[in-house]
Chain A
Amino acid sequence: MPLNWFPLWLSLRVAALATLISIALGLWIAYLLANREFRGKQVLETAVTLPLVLPPTVLGYFLLVVLGASSPLGHLYKWMFGAPLIFTWQAAVVASTFHAIPLLTKSARGAFESGRGYEKAAQSLGASGWRTFWRVTLPLSRRVVASASLTAFARALGDFGVTLMVAGNLPGKTQTAAVGIYDALQRGDTREARWLVLALSAVVIAIVYAENRLSRRPVAA
């Protein structure tokens, strides 16, 4: 019987999308936390850390409540795309994104804050906030951002609990590799489980190796 590689491809696609969204959203939040004083800053700080520590089932439950068909956000999604979000592979992207964002936000914020002196210099030279970000802040923290993005990707790839709760376990539709391994073992299909485990391990080891190399290079640009 040919192996079913669909869960692996879906996982890679979901993780890639989740990482992209996390980079955009995570860097924005990191920038806000590093540079602005606003009301609710501590709430945002806490909210960004929560996915790291909350049990996945709890996070999944919250997401179900917030994104479910009867919630305002769920309605909005259905109105925009014509179908509910829950139990689709897109829901898996949302789940993975939530798991990946804290990793990016935390490291990027640190990097942004350590570049404060350079930002001040850029601004006193007349550069706008936007230009300062693209020409100075981001290039100076690109190593940190790249390494955090890799970790975030690995993390998104391995998400199990939250994905299972909001995207379900629909083979060929929403079944990601992490969920697929569990499912295969439950069915007694050790061959499929074994291959998925090997493939997932290989990808993650490669990422961690790349990330270590990235962070070991000298800091100077």
Chain B
Amino acid sequence: MIAARIAKTFAPRPGSAGFSLDIEFQARAGITALFGTAGAGKTLAFDAIAGFARPDSGRIMLDDRILFDAASRVNLKPQQRNCGYVSRDESLFPNMTIRENLVFAADRLPRLERHRRVNETTDRFQLAEIAARLPQETSPSERQCCSVARALMSSPRLLLLDEPAHSLNAPSRVELYRLLRKVREDFQIPILLATDQLEECFQLADQMLILRDGRIAQSGRPREILEQPESVEIARLLGISNLFQAEITALDPGRNTSRLRFGEYDLTGTYFRGHLLGDRVWLYVHARDLRIAGRNGVRPEANQIPAKLLRVSELPQAVRLEFSGDISVELPRQEFEQQKDNKDWLVEFPPAALRVL
């Protein structure tokens, strides 16, 4: 298990705005995603854990070893930290073959043991075929696989993966995700995964830390975070498109209902715990939870809002409709095909889908 408290500040200078990282987290065996946009501090956090950046204050514990402690001035060298680190850039030594890259990582083992370990790794990661090649003679996904294999050669107590999929195409990503799930099962160590891809978090992460401007804004299981982001900023970061300002006009815990005033419309939702009558809140609805209907001259029913269809775009498995008022709806293609001849539209907000911040 890794437990870290890391604070580091870069004062603003001409040409750079300055930055401060201040995070505290724990991660057990399994994959913990560090989710954030570029510049959120992911790589700096990794560099601090691996020993390439010295925090101003804090403490980093890996299992029962202290890697860094500002108070007692402990600061282990990268070589002593036993952290596997796969950096964002390609890091296989281009002057060595794949096999030599692995041997380099096993250098401290006795000769026979080293040989055994290298063979074991080439088998486990299916690198035997490309072992004699130089990195630049292999594909990006093979290189990434070898980087992970090499980082695991010395049986690290922690694996750091900095955007491992960023240079890979879609099929290679799928392959990498499969590999990382296998690593999670086989090695049973904490794996920290820095990423700006939400999908990657859902594919791989047991836990997710949302890093924003050098702070951890929210943590939890990816599904939980997506269902209940703690702030409108996080909701935006997660790509939730339907975010509206609304006012609570009625709350009825007995019947488990609430009413919201949204623009000129009234919407009914489930009871919003922890909010008061008259609260100005952010209403959000996942695009896939909204329904559509043709207006065809009839009066809108409850929770239906008339809207103008502005744009239709294709997604791999669905259709995305953009309506006036910044409303986005995602629905299966067949469902849209049945309704596409509608002239006027109603967007329906199912009560159970309404959430507020």
Interface set of A (CB-CB < 8 Å, partner B) = 117-118, 120-128, 131, 135-136, 139-140, 220-221
Q: In the complex, given contacts A120-B50, A126-B154, A127-B79, what are 18 additional A-B residue pairs having Cβ atoms less than 8 angstroms apart?
A: A117-B89, A117-B90, A120-B85, A121-B87, A124-B51, A124-B78, A124-B81, A125-B104, A125-B150, A125-B154, A126-B79, A126-B107, A127-B107, A135-B93, A139-B95, A220-B94, A220-B134, A221-B134
Cα–Cα, bound, A142→B64 (Å): 42
Answer whether residue B151 sits at the interface, using C-beta atoms and an 8 A cutoff: yes
A131 to nearest B CB, angstroms?
8
B87 and A120: CB pair below 8 A?
yes
Which residue on chain A has the smallest CB distance to residue B82? A126
B87 and A140: CB pair below 8 A?
no
24 sampled A-B residue pairs with Cβ under 8 A: A117-B87, A117-B90, A120-B52, A120-B78, A121-B92, A121-B93, A122-B93, A122-B104, A123-B51, A123-B52, A123-B77, A123-B78, A124-B78, A124-B81, A125-B105, A125-B154, A126-B108, A126-B154, A127-B104, A128-B79, A135-B93, A139-B95, A140-B93, A221-B134
Cα–Cα, bound, A126→B83 (Å): 9
A124 cross-chain contacts in B, Cβ below 8 A? 50-51, 78-79, 81, 83-85, 151
Answer whether residue B136 sits at the interface, using C-beta atoms and an 8 A cutoff: yes
Answer whether residue B91 sits at the interface, using C-beta atoms and an 8 A cutoff: yes
B150 cross-chain contacts in A, Cβ below 8 A? 125
A221 cross-chain contacts in B, Cβ below 8 A? 94-95, 134
Answer whether residue B4 sits at the interface, using C-beta atoms and an 8 A cutoff: no
Answer whether residue B205 sits at the interface, using C-beta atoms and an 8 A cutoff: no
Query: Which of B78, B81, B90, B104 sits near A135, CB closer than 8 Å?
Result: B104
A121 and B91: CB pair below 8 A?
yes
Known: A135-B104, A220-B136. Contact between A123 and B94, CB under 8 A? no
Q: Which of B138-161 contact A (CB under 8 A)?
A: 150-151, 153-154
A121 cross-chain contacts in B, Cβ below 8 A? 85, 87, 91-93
B222 to nearest A CB, angstroms?
27
Query: Which of A126, A128, A139, A220 sits near B105, CB closer than 8 Å?
Result: A126
B98 to nearest A CB, angstroms?
13
Which residue on chain A has the smallest CB distance to residue B86? A121
Known: A117-B91, A135-B104. Contact between A125 and B83, CB under 8 A? no
B104 cross-chain contacts in A, Cβ below 8 A? 122, 125, 127, 135
A125 and B95: CB pair below 8 A?
no
Give the residue among A123, A124, A136, A221 with the most B Cβ atoms within 10 A.
A124
B91 and A120: CB pair below 8 A?
yes
Cα–Cα, bound, A110→B85 (Å): 24
A55 to nearest B CB, angstroms?
34
B249 to nearest A CB, angstroms?
57
A34 to nearest B CB, angstroms?
15
Q: Which of B292-332 contact A (CB under 8 A)?
A: none
B50 cross-chain contacts in A, Cβ below 8 A? 120, 124
Which residue on chain B has the smallest CB distance to residue A123? B78
Cα–Cα, bound, A136→B78 (Å): 16
Cα–Cα, bound, A118→B91 (Å): 5
B82 to nearest A CB, angstroms?
8
B52 cross-chain contacts in A, Cβ below 8 A? 120, 123
Q: Which of B21-77 contact A (CB under 8 A)?
A: 50-52, 77
B161 to nearest A CB, angstroms?
12
A128 cross-chain contacts in B, Cβ below 8 A? 79
Which residue on chain A has the smallest CB distance to residue B156? A124
Cα–Cα, bound, A123→B105 (Å): 10
Which residue on chain B has the smallest CB distance to residue A139? B95
Which residue on chain B has the smallest CB distance to residue A135? B104
| 7 cross-chain pairs, A with B, having the tightest CB-CB distances, nearest first | A121-B91, A124-B85, A221-B95, A123-B78, A125-B105, A139-B95, A117-B89
Cα–Cα, bound, A117→B50 (Å): 13
Cα–Cα, bound, A118→B96 (Å): 12
Which residue on chain B has the smallest CB distance to residue A220? B136
B114 to nearest A CB, angstroms?
13
Known: A120-B78, A124-B50. Contact between A140 and B94, CB under 8 A? yes
B79 and A123: CB pair below 8 A?
yes
Cα–Cα, bound, A140→B153 (Å): 23
B92 cross-chain contacts in A, Cβ below 8 A? 121
B292 to nearest A CB, angstroms?
50
Which residue on chain B has the smallest CB distance to residue A218? B136
B86 to nearest A CB, angstroms?
8
Cα–Cα, bound, A135→B100 (Å): 11
B81 cross-chain contacts in A, Cβ below 8 A? 124
Which residue on chain A has the smallest CB distance to residue B83? A124
B94 cross-chain contacts in A, Cβ below 8 A? 140, 220-221
Cα–Cα, bound, A158→B206 (Å): 66
A117 cross-chain contacts in B, Cβ below 8 A? 87, 89-91
Which residue on chain A has the smallest CB distance to residue B90? A117
B281 to nearest A CB, angstroms?
46
A151 to nearest B CB, angstroms?
23
A221 to nearest B CB, angstroms?
4
Which residue on chain B has the smallest CB distance to residue A138? B95
Cα–Cα, bound, A135→B134 (Å): 15
Cα–Cα, bound, A120→B79 (Å): 10
A42 to nearest B CB, angstroms?
16
Cα–Cα, bound, A128→B51 (Å): 14
